[in-house]
A and B are shown apart, each in its own frame.
Chain A
């Protein structure tokens, strides 16, 4: 009878240790942590809208160009190779009253093309973009001749980070 009680106690204690994970646990363990990096292509215009006001000239010469290179920047991040940034306008070249050019200045993370006159067809604006973070100033120049009169053009300018 005494042996039976002792055995019963041992069984109960074993059950408690096992259920508490004390007996079977060792001093080390592991699990798998996976870092997955997917394609990232982000582009953003920092700053806001821009107005170029042409209202000066020298008598006998066409109106002075107006330049803005401080209002807006362009930032981008890509972890892919063979990328470029294109520019386009919502205004047909034939419909524009005046001349607008855009250029990437003070650039890092790519190579600026020559100043572009944005049209409804996307044109290369920055080339040589690959696995980088980059930035540039957006420099716009507005030009008008006396013969073109007065008025305004409102371009919605779109930049796109895309494959070469």
Chain B
């Protein structure tokens, strides 16, 4: 008799537990779980660029022609930097092109004037969990051993680790 009673109690308990775990309403109150999941975001855009983080730039005897005059970025990551590089092989460049992140609205630091080559070079270091922007300054000087042909660059900016 006691054994049957124990089995009956167990069945009642299991039914009750099942109802609770499946979120059945119990009177005048009810609960559910709401989770906010924030994933890594790392975004960079070049204002005036044809693509998000890529722009065209021409250097000739008249100066520098480009529409890319500002960078904007958003990241919720730490320890990032912004690099710049050209698709024009360094040995084919007739001008020494330099870029500087100016008017920096960021907690990070500008590296000052940076020479653009076909390898990534950092123009801003130590970017962490922020939205930021800066102006882009350009200057170029002709290499003495090169002809006066214009340089056509596709400049790539990257927000990276």
Q: How many A-B residue pairs have CB under 8 A?
A: 149
Let me know if B37 is at the binding interface, CB within 8 A. Answer: yes
B-side binding surface: helix, strand, loop or mixed? Answer: strand
Asked whether A155 lies within 8 Å of B129 as measured between CB atoms, the reply is no
Chain B residues positioned under 8 Å from A147 (CB to CB)? 76, 129-130
Chain A residues positioned under 8 Å from B37 (CB to CB)? 51-54, 152
Total chain A interface residues with beta-carbon distance under 8 A:
49
Contact with A along B4-47 (1 / 0, CB 8 A): 00000000000000000001110111111111111111011100
Asked whether B38 lies within 8 Å of A51 as measured between CB atoms, the reply is no
Contact partner, B45, options A60, A140, A144, A159, Cβ 8 Å: A60
Give CA–CA (A147, B106) in the complex, Å: 12
Instruction: List residues 127-164 of chain A with CB under 8 A from any CB of chain B.
Output: 140, 142, 144, 146-162
Asked whether B76 lies within 8 Å of A159 as measured between CB atoms, the reply is no
Asked whether A60 lies within 8 Å of B131 as measured between CB atoms, the reply is yes
Let me know if B73 is at the binding interface, CB within 8 A. Answer: yes
Asked whether B25 lies within 8 Å of A54 as measured between CB atoms, the reply is no
Chain A residues positioned under 8 Å from B73 (CB to CB)? 59-60
Asked whether B74 lies within 8 Å of A50 as measured between CB atoms, the reply is no
Let me know if A58 is at the binding interface, CB within 8 A. Answer: yes
Let me know if A62 is at the binding interface, CB within 8 A. Answer: yes
- Known: A53-B39, A140-B34, A142-B36; 15 extra A-B contacts, CB below 8 A, are A42-B27, A43-B30, A49-B32, A51-B34, A56-B41, A59-B72, A61-B74, A63-B38, A72-B32, A144-B76, A147-B76, A150-B38, A150-B76, A155-B34, A160-B29
- What are 20 sample pairs from A and B whose C-beta atoms fall under 8 A apart? A43-B30, A45-B30, A45-B32, A55-B39, A55-B41, A57-B74, A58-B74, A59-B72, A59-B74, A63-B76, A142-B36, A146-B130, A149-B76, A149-B78, A150-B38, A152-B36, A152-B37, A154-B35, A156-B31, A157-B33
